[in-house]
Chains A and B, each alone.
Chain A
């Protein structure tokens, strides 16, 4: 995991700054800062509703028109928020591809998968006719669909869930993207298929050098695959760290809670600890730290002051008053973004 800091210092592939989203006035994202470097694998973890998916749907302009979006999302310096449709259409699938949770409903039921993959090839690689079909077949073979040539003319309902996710991956690869955003790609699949899909994504990354953002509510899934992990809570990133450090020494009480809720793989079985309470209602956010009402270490200031995401070490950031002020170092230190 060395070179991580280097990656962070170099110009990022995607830079998200102060991204905020409201649906009908109700905040879904409350200022997200996140960088993804070329070739890097970043995990985005949090409960459902914490804003993981919304972050990337907003970044790619895939939210409905009723969403009010502010902040900045740049892809190698090009602003994506509010960008004209032509730029967004070239970016989506061509530079940044996205795959989704339920592959069965994410594929169009009335179009053959050959046509759905071929559409991306035509859009981003200008392939048509026989070339297009040949490349679609190659991609289908690449993602491990047997009898690929014949299966191009099949429809999504003729594939299993795991195979459909492979098709989604093939479709995502069609444009030769620099970044794959995988939104809960294995949640709808059973455990053995899960690891096959994660392995497939890993292999493809090794071959193509494409960056990955893996969105998941499952810390275990992210830990296996990612270099760096950002933990989201109630529409903000509360902690960010290299994957190994996050597990060895989680700093935010919420992260500690998440890790405490994981069953240990080795050693004696222990009682799993659940985080008490529930996620705050986005219509009635606490004025201070959003996690304070559930936090065992909260003190009076936590109810008043919303903590900023501050640098606490190389590649590490945390948004917690107890952690940043309690270290004895300058409590006013602010993330130098």
Chain B
């Protein structure tokens, strides 16, 4: 068990280190922050001073080592744009993002899972076909297209809801629906196929053959098994609570972490981008660990330290 945990934590650390390195390389090679922040017309002395004050005059390797060392010490750096600690900048945006992604997650699970189960149980029926059609539409239509379409209908044509901003809860409705629909569609498809897979298993026939009523076969025998793959998908969605709304936040001018990321990348505001990426990688890794733990609960075959088998 200890070895398992150590292994998993080690892998998580490597994942995060790779993310940090990758972001550093891409951002530093794609543009000079001094030029972007000060503008191309800035005097060369100002640019040199800016570079010196942010350590951009050292070799890229030295910058990388310095940067990595700082992260290990818990120092995530300051925004090059307004000089405040990057972590503060990011932290104050988190509530706004969660205000979109948490209700959206509720929609995804609340609609996607039951729809998938129902479709699987009524395979080939009209509801199944409708769910599958919506599911395909839901994840082939990009979220910005869906978002803009909703704005066209409900803001421009009907005038019912605001098209952007964060002034009231009504401003959240369209972005939440946009985020939730696609995820619900993916989850419905995923749950449906997991359910169909399980319903075709011999142990489902065994349960029926011993006289278990169909409803109890579904709830007592099929669902616990279908939950295993579905939990993976939900875990993935939980992992993207922080970073999953980049496009939608941009479409609806919602001042969340996603918007901050877009602006920070455009400005080559290295510390802020790195901080967001760390946060994203961290939530992903954490949700993966939770999924692994849930696997153990759901599937006795994966339970570490189980009883000795009789093989």
| A109 adjacent to B209 (CB under 8 Å) | no
| A106 adjacent to B206 (CB under 8 Å) | yes
B301, CB-defined interface residue at 8 Å: yes
| B211 adjacent to A94 (CB under 8 Å) | yes
A62, CB-defined interface residue at 8 Å: yes
Q: Which of B211, B309, B311 contacts A92 (CB 8 A)?
A: B211
Chain A residues whose CB sits within 8 angstroms of the CB of B309 once the complex forms? 157-159
B298, CB-defined interface residue at 8 Å: yes
User: Which residues of A, 150-172, contact B by the 8 Å Cβ criterion?
Assistant: 154-155, 157-160, 163, 168, 171-172
Contact code string A60-102 (vs B, CB < 8 Å = 1, else 0): 1010000000000000000000000100011111100110101
A291, chain B: closest CB distance, angstroms = 30
Complex formed: what's the CA distance from A102 to B206 in Å? 11
Contact code string B206-220 (vs A, CB < 8 Å = 1, else 0): 111111111000001
Q: Which of B203, B210, B224, B306 contacts A93 (CB 8 A)?
A: B210
Chain A residues whose CB sits within 8 angstroms of the CB of B212 once the complex forms? 89, 93, 119, 123
B42, chain A: closest CB distance, angstroms = 64
**Which residue of B202, B228, B298, B306 has the most chain A CB atoms within 10 A of its CB atom?**
B202
Complex formed: what's the CA distance from A143 to B88 in Å? 66
Chain A residues whose CB sits within 8 angstroms of the CB of B214 once the complex forms? 85
B30, CB-defined interface residue at 8 Å: no
A206, chain B: closest CB distance, angstroms = 23
Chain A residues whose CB sits within 8 angstroms of the CB of B306 once the complex forms? 158
B296, chain A: closest CB distance, angstroms = 12
Residue of B whose beta carbon sits closest to that of A120 = B210
Complex formed: what's the CA distance from A199 to B126 in Å? 50
A106, chain B: closest CB distance, angstroms = 5
A124, CB-defined interface residue at 8 Å: yes
B201, CB-defined interface residue at 8 Å: yes
| B221 adjacent to A108 (CB under 8 Å) | yes
Known A-B contacts A100-B202, A157-B309, A158-B310; the reply to A123 vs B301 at CB < 8 A is no
A311, chain B: closest CB distance, angstroms = 33
Q: Which of A98, A157, A163 contacts B301 (CB 8 A)?
A: A157
Residue of B whose beta carbon sits closest to that of A104 = B202
A27, chain B: closest CB distance, angstroms = 22
| A155 adjacent to B211 (CB under 8 Å) | no
Total contacts A-B at CB 8 Å: 90
Chain B residues whose CB sits within 8 angstroms of the CB of A92 once the complex forms? 208-211
| B209 adjacent to A60 (CB under 8 Å) | yes
B57, CB-defined interface residue at 8 Å: no
B265, chain A: closest CB distance, angstroms = 44
A210, chain B: closest CB distance, angstroms = 15
**Which residue of B201, B209, B225, B300 has the most chain A CB atoms within 10 A of its CB atom?**
B209
Chain B residues whose CB sits within 8 angstroms of the CB of A90 once the complex forms? 211
Complex formed: what's the CA distance from A167 to B307 in Å? 18
Complex formed: what's the CA distance from A120 to B308 in Å? 27
Complex formed: what's the CA distance from A94 to B201 in Å? 22
| B210 adjacent to A108 (CB under 8 Å) | no
| A108 adjacent to B207 (CB under 8 Å) | yes
| B202 adjacent to A159 (CB under 8 Å) | no
A265, CB-defined interface residue at 8 Å: no
A111, CB-defined interface residue at 8 Å: yes
| B299 adjacent to A109 (CB under 8 Å) | yes
B205, CB-defined interface residue at 8 Å: yes
| B307 adjacent to A154 (CB under 8 Å) | yes
| A102 adjacent to B202 (CB under 8 Å) | yes
| A120 adjacent to B201 (CB under 8 Å) | no
Complex formed: what's the CA distance from A105 to B299 in Å? 14
Complex formed: what's the CA distance from A90 to B209 in Å? 10
Contact code string B150-167 (vs A, CB < 8 Å = 1, else 0): 000000000000000000
| B210 adjacent to A123 (CB under 8 Å) | yes
Chain B residues whose CB sits within 8 angstroms of the CB of A159 once the complex forms? 309-310
Chain B residues whose CB sits within 8 angstroms of the CB of A57 once the complex forms? 205
Complex formed: what's the CA distance from A175 to B210 in Å? 8
Complex formed: what's the CA distance from A201 to B310 in Å? 22
A248, CB-defined interface residue at 8 Å: no
Complex formed: what's the CA distance from A124 to B212 in Å? 10
Chain B residues whose CB sits within 8 angstroms of the CB of A157 once the complex forms? 300-301, 309
Residue of A whose beta carbon sits closest to that of B222 = A108
Residue of A whose beta carbon sits closest to that of B203 = A108
A107, CB-defined interface residue at 8 Å: yes
B121, chain A: closest CB distance, angstroms = 11
A110, CB-defined interface residue at 8 Å: yes
| A171 adjacent to B300 (CB under 8 Å) | no
Contact code string B288-300 (vs A, CB < 8 Å = 1, else 0): 0000000000111
Complex formed: what's the CA distance from A110 to B300 in Å? 6
Which residues from chain A sit less than 8 Å from chain B, CB to CB? 57, 60, 62, 85, 89-94, 97-98, 100, 102, 105-111, 119-120, 123-124, 154-155, 157-160, 163, 168, 171-172, 174-175
Which residues from chain B sit less than 8 Å from chain A, CB to CB? 201-203, 205-214, 220-221, 224-225, 228, 298-301, 306-311
A–B Cβ pairs within 8 angstroms, 8 of them: A60-B209, A85-B214, A97-B210, A106-B202, A106-B203, A123-B210, A171-B210, A172-B210
The 4 closest A-B pairs by CB, nearest first: A93-B211, A93-B210, A155-B300, A92-B211
